[in-house]
Amino acid sequence: MTDDARPRVLSITSITAVSTIDGGDTLAAEVSGPDGGTVFLLIPLGTAGALITHLTDAAERGARERRLHSQGRRPAAED
């Protein structure tokens, strides 16, 4: 990481593999981007749990928004 204040965006198209390293303390996720390049994400196990929670919550919100959109309705501000 650098001290650059600009945000970085990583677009992924697939998750190729996930394994553990550091005696099981870290997940190493191999992901592929739209350009075919490979990136490895090193995620401490505690952080992975929080990531799973946030991803699940966001996916549920997205499904609810898609369902409402398909019915021609708008989602409420924030549940």
What CATH code is carried by the domain that includes residue 49?
A: 3.10.450
**C-alpha span between 58 and 24 (Å, rounded):** 27
Say what the pLDDT of residue 2 is.
65
Residue 23 placed within a domain? yes
The edge-to-edge listing of strands for the beta sheet with 38-44 is 14-21, 26-32, 38-44
Q: What is the identity of the amino acid at 52?
A: I
Residue 7 placed within a domain? no
The count of domains in the chain is 1
Q: Residue 22: which domain range? A: 14-72
Residue 37 placed within a domain? yes
Residue 28 placed within a domain? yes
Judge whether 11 and 34 are in contact, CB under 8 Å: yes
Judge whether 29 and 47 are in contact, CB under 8 Å: no
pLDDT digit string, tens, across residues 26-63: 999 999 999 999 999 999 999 999 999 999 999 999 99
Whether 74 shows a pLDDT value over 80: the answer reads no
Say what the pLDDT of residue 3 is.
72
Residue 4 placed within a domain? no
Average pLDDT, rounded, for the chain: 90
Residue 33 placed within a domain? yes
Residue 78 placed within a domain? no
